Amino acid sequence: MSVLTVNLKLLYQRRGLWLGYLMFAFYVWVSLKVALDDPRAGAGTFIGLILLVFLVGMAAAVQQMEILTKPMAFCLPQHRRTVARFILTVGIAANAAGATLFLFYPGLPPTWRLLVLGSAFAAGLVFYLAGAWWGFFARQPMALVGFSIAVFFFGQRLGLHVRLERIVVLHPLAVMAAGVLAAVAMWLYLTRADLARRNCLRPWIGFAEVFDRDKLRRSPQYRSAAPWTRLKDHPRPWVENLFIDRIAGSQPLSTMRCAWGAVYSSFAMVLSQWTNVLVLVVVMTIFLGYLGGHLMVILLGSLPIVAGAMSLSHGALYSSLLTSGGRRERFFATLAAVVVGAVLVTAFMGLVAALSVPLASVLPDFTVYGQRLTYHVISARVFYGSWVLLPIAAMIHLVLYRRPALLMIVLIAFAYPVVLAAELLSHDLRPLVNAPAAATLAALCWLVFILVLSRIAHRRPLVR
Amino acid sequence: MSDETIMVKIRGLSKRFGRTQALDGVDLDIECGRIIGLLGANGAGKSTLLRHIIGLYLPDGGWCTTLGCDASRLGPAELARIGYVHQEGELIDWMTAAQLIRYVSVYYPNWNKELEQRLVGEYEISLKARVGSLSPGQRQRLAILIAICFEPELLILDEPAAALDPLARAQFLDLLLQLIQDQKRTIVISSHILSDVEKVIDHAVIMKAGRIVADASFDELREKYSRVRLTSLAGPLPEPLDFANVLECRRNQSEATLIVRDLPPDLIEAAAARIHCQADVQPLPLEDIYKVVVQ
């Protein structure tokens, strides 16, 4: 068996990838259906597969990076040469399959169709290599997968898919030249002599490692311990003083002391990076304001889930620190952490909404690729969602603490209906989203969360 | 020492990470067939030195050649002769142990299947278990297995036994003893567990703050440093004791224990006879040699 073959086998040996393949197959099916059900030239319906190979490129690169970053791989004799061959082999196979969709593109003369096939292959290669580039360079490349759907939505609203398809069909030679250039550039990068050295022992989070708490915990520690960083990955002194004073000021062995400790350990880093949070507020305000209508609701509705996923609830409950807190103290400490988390998320969203009011009078309308974009004030009604969704997300975290992969699946399974409901039924739902209804629902969710938390804190094993 | 017999040659090697001087002008020759113990405290520069030998780190100053080739330019031909076990034993967690072994074995045409099967049995490695689900000790055994089954000429072991339980450590040492039967094999082993290392090494390199403070054969070190137990044969011991090169002295009225350097047994016995004492001279264990050297 050749070294390349044994690396290609990794693509099916890994059970975890099959879930990804399943989701990918769904998107492929959607892309084929959109293109073949109503084949129209210039409508942008044929470009789906070309965009999807971005994810294939990322997955292929992540696969190789997971090996490159391990010290055991540094001395594997032929591995360094295999990386480039692996990436290009997968790329050629994936894009050859993807480009065949353009065989069904309507209204092309035979010779031109051949050129378009080459062009589609090359365009796919560019996207594929962009995905691979992201996989090699980003510290946690899989984080992009979550955003990719939003990016595809946004691109679609701007009509980028139509424009891209036109470029592929009308300028095949230029696209092929771009494909060749991208392939050569990637080949030169992947065959450079110091590729293994640059990546070996690099603090990097791979595909399944997003479920590996130890690795995730070690990664920022590793970076902050590394002398080449500026030690930004630890709480700022003012945050430390603020919390330590509160902790020291409460009664020894009291529940309040445990609660302050839990809030400190959960949010010290968030508060320490408040300038980054403010930048995020500004970026999101502009982004969501221009998105306007229903998508804004979806994304804002997703925020509390993201916040819930920040492991804010279980840190205090499943603490490995042997503190003086018993089960009762851990219960209140966890509750305090989750409530503070909900307050912070609401404050974040409040800032976004408040900032959108003055921005609405300042930010101009503009046209991108024929789409008129108008800035909208962000409605405060979407904030109700946080107080409903956060306890649910926190509860999922608590219950599935030891099954991180399942936890992610359940969170996604929970988020998708919410997002789809907001997307498809936003006009019908809007009248229902009022203060009394939201307050009742939120109270119910919090009650259930408290009951579950109490059950786990008092009756279940709390081994980390 | 001819250049053909030298596996690794290091001259003036320096490496700095920010404000930390990890290596400071290190000179070292590693001869073919040697079992070298690289000893030192945490942060002494052992791992950094080993990573330079395989070309993982590039030096800020000086140079390092491994198997006759600039370490930063080691190619597949040279890498196929080097086995490396990293201290954290980080492997590809999602593979089963069998898949990992098969994956690594493809890279080496001279993979010893027989040795693989024997070690799998001896180390009780569960082939169907996912690497990520193995205990740290089992993972380290697996890391050792994949580093030695292609029978490398140069085997670099960076804290290989740190995660192993006493039984596994004993097995690992037995294995090392078998490996060193091959006269052409060179092993560099860094370890904190000095009592283990001293059973296998024939050469010790002791590091402190990025410098080599001792580089000698183990026998030389054992001859150089000795522990002397003095027992008075008549009355109390004199004050002070008339011994040269004393590094440490613990005493009471009638007995004393000295650690001495560069003092042959006959001179010790002569000196003891002068003060009416009986002298019991013993070689120092590696742990005590290490303490004396780094202090």
Is the Cβ of B109 closer than 8 Å to some Cβ of chain A?
A: no
- Are B279 and B161 in a shared domain? no
- Measure in Å the smallest separation between the Cα of A426 and chain B Cα atoms: 41
Higher pLDDT, residue A211 or B206:
B206
The whole-angstrom separation of Cα B27 and Cα A429 is 75
pLDDT for the residue numbered A227: 46
Q: In percent, how much of chain B has pLDDT > 70?
A: 97
Cβ–Cβ below 8 Å for A75 and B82:
yes
**Which range, of A96-100, A170-174, A305-309, B82-86, averages the lowest pLDDT?**
A305-309
- Chain B's closest residue to A15, CA to CA, is B94
Which residues pair with residue B214 across a beta bridge?
B206
pLDDT for the residue numbered A85: 92
Query: Looking at residues A301-330, what average pLDDT do you find?
Result: 65
Of A99, A105, A94, A98, residue with least CA distance to A35:
A105
Q: Which amino acid is at B229?
A: R
Query: Looking at residues B127-143, what average pLDDT do you find?
Result: 86
- Are B159 and B241 in a shared domain? no
Higher pLDDT, residue B10 or A139:
B10
Of A66, A56, A113, residue with least CA distance to A88:
A56
Which helix (H) or strand (E) segment is A317 a member of?
helix A314-317
pLDDT for the residue numbered A229: 45
- Measure in Å the smallest separation between the Cα of B259 and chain A Cα atoms: 39
Q: Is a pLDDT exceeding 60 seen at residue A379?
A: yes
Residue of A15, A71, A77 with shortest CB distance to B80: A77
Residue of B72, B79, B102 with shortest CB distance to A75: B79
- Are B154 and B66 in a shared domain? yes
Note whether residue B116 is domain-resident: no
pLDDT for the residue numbered B207: 92
Could you tell me the pLDDT band of residue A110, with boundaries at 50, 70 and 90?
confident
Is the Cβ of B92 closer than 8 Å to some Cβ of chain A?
A: yes
DSSP A148-182: HHHHHHHHHHTTHHHHHHHHHHH-HHHHHHHHHHH
Note whether residue B95 is domain-resident: no
Residue of B18, B54, B93 with shortest CB distance to A75: B54
Q: Is a pLDDT exceeding 60 seen at residue B1?
A: no
DSSP A292-308: -HHHHHHHHHHHHHHHH
Judge whether B288 and B224 are in contact, CB under 8 Å.
no
Q: Mutate which of A10, A72, A202, A211 to disrupt the B interface (most B C-beta within 10 Å)?
A: A72
Residues of A in contact with B95 (CB under 8 A): 13-14
pLDDT for the residue numbered A216: 65
Cβ–Cβ below 8 Å for A77 and B77:
yes
Could you tell me the pLDDT band of residue A305, with boundaries at 50, 70 and 90?
low
**Which range, of A297-311, B33-47, B100-114, averages the lowest pLDDT?**
A297-311
pLDDT in tens, B17-55: 888 889 999 999 999 888 899 998 888 899 999 999 999
**Domain carrying residue B263:** 225-294
Domain ends where: B209, B236, B252? B209
Side-chain half-sphere CA neighbours of A72 within 13 A: 24
Query: Looking at residues B135-152, what average pLDDT do you find?
Result: 87
The whole-angstrom separation of Cα A403 and Cα B173 is 38
- Are B156 and B289 in a shared domain? no
The whole-angstrom separation of Cα A355 and Cα A286 is 9
**Which CATH number does the domain housing residue B247 bear?**
3.30.70
- Are B243 and B203 in a shared domain? no
pLDDT for the residue numbered B64: 94
- Are B190 and B246 in a shared domain? no
**Which range, of A270-274, A319-323, A335-339, A398-402, averages the lowest pLDDT?**
A319-323
Note whether residue B35 is domain-resident: yes
Q: In percent, how much of chain A has pLDDT > 90?
A: 16
pLDDT for the residue numbered A56: 92
pLDDT for the residue numbered A299: 55
Side-chain half-sphere CA neighbours of A254 within 13 A: 10
- Are B240 and B288 in a shared domain? yes
- Are B177 and B287 in a shared domain? no
- Are B184 and B234 in a shared domain? no
Could you tell me the pLDDT band of residue A304, with boundaries at 50, 70 and 90?
low
**Which range, of A58-62, A108-112, B239-243, averages the lowest pLDDT?**
B239-243
pLDDT in tens, A323-333: 667 888 888 88
The whole-angstrom separation of Cα A393 and Cα A340 is 14
Tokens representing B44? 């002494």
Q: What is the ipTM, given to two decimal places?
A: 0.79
Note whether residue B125 is domain-resident: no
Note whether residue B83 is domain-resident: yes
- Measure in Å the smallest separation between the Cα of B56 and chain A Cα atoms: 5
- Give the mean pLDDT of chain A: 81
DSSP B245-268: SEEEEEE-SSEEEEEEES--HHHH
Could you tell me the pLDDT band of residue A230, with boundaries at 50, 70 and 90?
very low
**Which CATH number does the domain housing residue B195 bear?**
3.40.50.300
Q: Tell me how many residue pairs between chain A and chain B have CB atoms under 8 A apart.
A: 76
Note whether residue B134 is domain-resident: no
- Are B188 and B76 in a shared domain? yes
Query: Looking at residues A392-416, what average pLDDT do you find?
Result: 78
Cβ–Cβ below 8 Å for B92 and A77:
no
- Chain B's closest residue to A7, CA to CA, is B103
Could you tell me the pLDDT band of residue A343, with boundaries at 50, 70 and 90?
confident
Domain ends where: B209, B234, B257? B209
Q: What are phi and psi of B13, to 5 degrees?
A: -70, 125
Of A238, A239, A268, A261, residue with least CA distance to A344:
A268
Which residues pair with residue B156 across a beta bridge?
B84, B188
Higher pLDDT, residue B8 or A17:
B8
Domain ends where: B209, B235, B255? B209
- Are B241 and B273 in a shared domain? yes
- Which DSSP letter does residue B82 get? E
Length of chain B in terms of residues written: 295
Cβ–Cβ below 8 Å for B88 and A200:
no
Q: Is a pLDDT exceeding 60 seen at residue A307?
A: no
pLDDT for the residue numbered A424: 65
Residues of B in contact with A76 (CB under 8 A): 79, 104, 107
Note whether residue B144 is domain-resident: no
Query: Looking at residues B250-277, what average pLDDT do you find?
Result: 84
The whole-angstrom separation of Cα B194 and Cα A182 is 53
Q: Is a pLDDT exceeding 50 seen at residue A231?
A: no
Cβ–Cβ below 8 Å for A76 and B79:
yes
The whole-angstrom separation of Cα A40 and Cα B232 is 107
pLDDT for the residue numbered A374: 82
pLDDT for the residue numbered B206: 92
Judge whether A305 and A415 are in contact, CB under 8 Å.
yes
- Measure in Å the smallest separation between the Cα of A409 and chain B Cα atoms: 18
pLDDT in tens, B161-172: 777 778 878 877
Q: Is a pLDDT exceeding 90 seen at residue A342?
A: no
Number of domains in chain B: 2
Residues of A in contact with B107 (CB under 8 A): 3, 76-79
Q: Is B228 helix (H, G, I), strand (E, B) or coil?
A: strand
The whole-angstrom separation of Cα A311 and Cα A336 is 14
Instruction: Give the CA radius of gyration of chain A.
Output: 25
- Are B8 and B76 in a shared domain? yes
DSSP A240-271: HHHHHHHHHHSPTT-HHHHHHHHHHHHHHHHH
pLDDT for the residue numbered B65: 94
Note whether residue B122 is domain-resident: no
pLDDT for the residue numbered B100: 92
- Measure in Å the smallest separation between the Cα of A3 and chain B Cα atoms: 6
Is the Cβ of B93 closer than 8 Å to some Cβ of chain A?
A: yes
Tokens representing A370? 């024929």
Alpha helices in B54-165 (DSSP H): 76-79, 97-105, 113-122, 136-148
Q: Mutate which of B72, B90, B153 to disrupt the A interface (most A C-beta within 10 Å)?
A: B90
pLDDT for the residue numbered A324: 62
Is the Cβ of B58 closer than 8 Å to some Cβ of chain A?
A: yes
Q: Is a pLDDT exceeding 90 seen at residue A185?
A: yes
Cβ–Cβ below 8 Å for A81 and B76:
yes
pLDDT for the residue numbered A303: 58
